[in-house]
Structure 1
Amino acid sequence: MPKLPLDLQTVLAGFDAVWSPRIVTTVNDYDIRLARFAGEHVWHKHDETDEFFLVLDGEITLGLREPDGERTVRLSRGQLFVVPRGTFHKPSAEHESVVLLVEPSGTLSVGDDHEEVPDTVDVTVGHPV
């Protein structure tokens, strides 16, 4: 946990990889992660946890598979959304976007169940800053 204020722009300047979240701090047992989104992630779900998305820059789309069918949620800068546990979802961004994520520490970026992972997606529990 940082002992001094942390500047997110400085963190962002330190990496350019998409779909490769950085852990900027931990609150209780939750990681606060900063990630660049561009292109498509994979359909995946987290069986035991919700997933919090806050768009800091750009625009993202979340595909959701729900009991009554698929739907799409679009989020712009300053908007947030929580994907409920057990819900298959697929984040994507037409243009590079910056997203703050909140998940329990140790949560895998491709969830507990997922489709085949392309080389463009980092399978990780997050990289410390």
Structure 2
Amino acid sequence: MKIIRSASFTAERAWGALDIANMNGITTRLHWTDQPYKWHINDGQEVFVVLDGEVDMHYRENGVEQSTLLQVGDIFHAEVGTEHVAHPRGAARVLVIETEGSV
């Protein structure tokens, strides 16, 4: 059993993570960041939940870049093949559920 107080989690570097669970190759990780990630496409689906802060999520649909502001409690679901990048506005804590080893 684990109890994780996400509001107090920080990392030594942007996108540092606390591994919470690995269920049959699907990982659940808590990330802390204050810097953008990089454009990427995951090997599988990704669920991205903002727990603290705000994140501008940029993604491409049909080759057109779009962006939406994610706030606490908002969930972004990336289907296989969805190119995306997260840009936090200041510090943010994010729960990410994805295939183990995804970018």
Is the structural similarity TM-score above 0.5? yes
Shift, 1:87, TM fit: 1.5
Contact 2:53–2:89 at 8 Å: present in 1 too? no
CA RMSD across the alignment? 1.9
Name the SS for the 1:6 alignment partner. Answer: coil
Q: Which residue of 2 aligns with 1:45?
A: 41
1:1-129 to 2 correspondences below 5 Å? 4-9=1-6, 12=9, 15-46=11-42, 48-67=43-62, 69-108=64-103
Cα gap change, 1:65/1:9 in structure 2, threshold over 3 Å: closer, same or farther? closer
User: Runs ≥4 in structure 1, deviation > 4 angstroms?
Assistant: none
CA distance in 2 between counterparts of 1:8 and 1:25 reads: 15
Unmatched tracts of structure 1, length 5 or more: 109-129
CA distance in 1 between counterparts of 2:4 and 2:52 reads: 15
Q: What is the identity percentage for the equivalent residue pairs of Structure 1 and Structure 2? A: 25
Q: Which shows bigger deviation, 23-32 or 52-61?
A: 23-32
Count of residue pairs brought into register by the alignment:
103
Larger Rg: 1
Name the SS for the 1:95 alignment partner. Answer: coil
Unmatched tracts of structure 2, length 5 or more: none
